[in-house]
A and B are shown apart, each in its own frame.
Chain A
């Protein structure tokens, strides 16, 4: 299988998995009439104070084990964001395999930019 096929499958698997997790999460929120200790009204309000800054990866992992709806939605969003990142990592692997130094470096720069946006900027610049 060529790298294009691997990328193609990983993208579609990532999208389908994340959409399924999000749907499960939404259903659980309605069934439990709330999630993560918040009421359905608090979660569903368009001006809701509940957003990605009010959760942590630990809360998401614990919540998923307890079948918490909001945690499933967050996990779905994380999988969705991770999908294109995995695509970049797959390409780095392929360029390395083909000994294409220039493109290995270019795709590494892309990955570093993404990692800066996810880990460095929030910890050192925003907070």
Chain B
């Protein structure tokens, strides 16, 4: 295949990944890495490197809007980023060690498992109910982890207090670890940390998760850069494509009410997850 065709196919597949990623709320990387490795024959090291880069573009692009609308909690974001960035360093070094032992198949299997586990929080998010408020504990009081935002769908101002910051911090370390390990934003894990552990409203959770992904991915990409996991000619079309795809996805999402369509995307996720595991096991 000629180089221009390769370039364009990566661009189009990246747009598709960004589109699917924003519809499911998982971000581009989770869909991008399976597509690049399974269908375009790109080595997993370069696929994860490009994915991590594209994650920064989409996170910064959409965080810009959410921060402006004051839905994102900047304080909750910063207080948890101390764990996501530390986790990312450990994750990036772990994957470097895995590659140095030539155990690439392990990365495929872990990626597949993470994909399959990502389906559950995505399903839950479709319901989008408000959490039952819980009284703040000493950790969230000390850190002032409260806030409010305007919800135009219900035409009300939602006030909230976080709980169990320490538990959120532990989950965030793992989210950062997975981000560094697999080159994804690991938004699903970040959502679990804030939704289940800290009892925050879904809108705050998803936008703050998105806000944190940029910093987490920037940390990982520092190490990825030095290790040479980023191939500029692959990172270029993926960054542009995923960003464009996610912008389109966000527009479509606003109008899309049919939950069955989203269920189809979840089936795609499951399909990709199983394929990654099979590839890791040497079946595919």
Contacts and interface: CB of A to CB of B under 8 A. Distances in A.
A114 B218 contact: yes
Interface in A82-127: 82-85, 87-88, 91, 102-103, 106-107, 109-110, 113-114, 116-119, 121-122, 125-126
Nearest to A85: B218
Interface in B33-80: 40-43, 46, 49, 53, 56-57, 59-61, 63-65, 67-68, 70, 74-75, 78-79
Given A48-B231, A77-B53, A80-B53, A117 B223 contact: yes
Nearest to A29: B233
B222 A118 contact: yes
A122 to B, nearest CB: 3
B229 A52 contact: yes
A39 to B, nearest CB: 10
Interface string B227-240: 11111111111011
A73 B50 CA distance: 13
A66 B150 CA distance: 50
**Prevailing SS type, chain B contact patch:** helix
B214 A84 contact: yes
A53 B254 CA distance: 41
Contacts of A9: 64
A110 B82 contact: yes
A16 to B, nearest CB: 9
Contact of B226 (A19, A47, A80, A121): A121
Contacts of B281: none
Given A8-B64, A19-B240, A46-B6, A51 B231 contact: yes
A126 B225 CA distance: 11
A25 B63 CA distance: 26
Given A12-B64, A19-B240, A46-B234, A4 B229 contact: no
B108 interface: no
B30 interface: no
A10 to B, nearest CB: 8
B96 interface: yes
Nearest to B82: A109
B7 A44 contact: yes
Contact of B215 (A50, A73, A87): A87
A11 B59 CA distance: 9
Contacts of A85: 215, 218
Interface of B: 3-4, 6-7, 40-43, 46, 49, 53, 56-57, 59-61, 63-65, 67-68, 70, 74-75, 78-79, 81-82, 85-86, 88-89, 92-93, 96, 142-143, 214-215, 217-237, 239-240, 243
Interface of A: 3-5, 7-9, 11-12, 14-15, 18-19, 22-23, 25-26, 29-30, 40-41, 43-44, 46-48, 50-54, 70, 73-74, 76-77, 80-85, 87-88, 91, 102-103, 106-107, 109-110, 113-114, 116-119, 121-122, 125-126
Given A8-B68, A88-B78, 8 more contacts: A7-B67, A15-B243, A46-B40, A52-B224, A103-B75, A110-B215, A117-B219, A122-B222
CB-based closest 9 A-B pairs: A53-B228, A122-B226, A118-B222, A44-B3, A84-B214, A113-B85, A117-B222, A8-B68, A11-B64
29 contacts: A3-B74, A4-B70, A11-B63, A11-B64, A11-B214, A15-B61, A18-B239, A19-B240, A22-B240, A23-B240, A30-B4, A41-B3, A46-B46, A51-B230, A77-B53, A77-B239, A81-B218, A84-B217, A87-B214, A102-B142, A102-B143, A106-B78, A114-B218, A117-B89, A117-B223, A118-B219, A121-B89, A122-B227, A126-B227
